[in-house]
Amino acid sequence: MSFVEVTALWAVAISLSQPSQLPDRTLSGRVEDSLGGGIPGATITVECDDQVLEGMTDEEGQFAMLGLPPLQCLVAVDMEHFARVNVDVDLTENSVFDAKLTLSLAGLEAEVVVTPALGTAEQSFSVPEAVAVTTRAEIKSRPHQILPQVLREETGVLVQQTTTAQGSPFIRGFSAQRIVYLLDGVRFNTSTFRAGATQYLGWINPALVERLEVVRGPSSVQYGSDSIGGTINVLSMEPTLSSVGRRVTGVVEGVFGSADLSGNSNATVLVQDDTWAVRLGGGGRRVGELRTGRGRDSHAAVTRFLGLPSKTLYNKLPDTDFSQIGAHLAATFDAGDDASLNVFFLHEEQYGVSRHDRRLGGDGRYRSEFEPQQLDFGYIRYQKGQMGWLDGWSASLSLNRQQDGRLEQSHPKSTIERQEGRVLAVGYQVRGARVIANRHALTFGGELYDEYIAAARTFQDPVTDLLTTVRPRIPDGTRYTSSGLFLQTASE
Tens-place pLDDT, residues 299-325: 787 887 888 888 888 888 888 899 999
Annotate 287-319 with DSSP letters as a single string: E---B-GGG--TT-HHHHHH---GGGT-SB-TT
Angle at 446 between CA 441 and CA 449, to 5 degrees: 150
Task: Please tell me the least confidently modeled range out of 33-37, 222-226, 344-348.
Answer: 222-226
CA distance 423 to 194: 13
How far apart are the C-alpha atoms of 429 and 415, rounded to whole Å? 45
Domains in the chain, please, with CATH? 22-102 (2.60.40.10), 111-235 (2.170.130.10), 244-491 (2.40.170.20)
Taking the C-alpha atoms of residue 420 and residue 165, their distance in angstroms, rounded to an integer, is 18
State residue 157's pLDDT score: 94
Of 88-92, 122-126, 205-209, where does mean pLDDT reach its minimum? Answer: 122-126
Least confident segment among 4-13, 104-113, 290-299: 4-13
Cα-based torsion angle of the residue sequence 270, 208, 222, 379 in order, rounded to the nearest 10 degrees: 60
User: What is the rounded (10 degree) CA torsion for 402, 431, 130, 398?
Assistant: 10
Query: Nearest CA to 449 among 193, 234, 172, 112?
Result: 193
pLDDT at residue 335 above 70? yes
Contact 313, 306 (CB under 8 A): no
Mean per-residue pLDDT of the chain: 86
Tell me, what's the pLDDT at 22? 54
For residue range 183-214, list pLDDT tens digits in order: 998 999 998 888 878 889 999 999 999 999 99
Confidence of residue 20 (pLDDT cuts 50, 70, 90): very low
Please tell me the predicted confidence (pLDDT) of residue 2: 56
- The pLDDT of 226-248, averaged and rounded, is 88
CA 38 to CA 42: how far, in whole Å? 10
Closest listed residue to residue 299, CA positions, set 260, 243, 357: 357
Q: Is the pLDDT score of 117 beyond 70?
A: no
**pLDDT surpassing 90 at residue 81:** no
3-state secondary structure at position 183: strand
> What is the rounded CA–CA span in Å between residue 124 and residue 442?
18
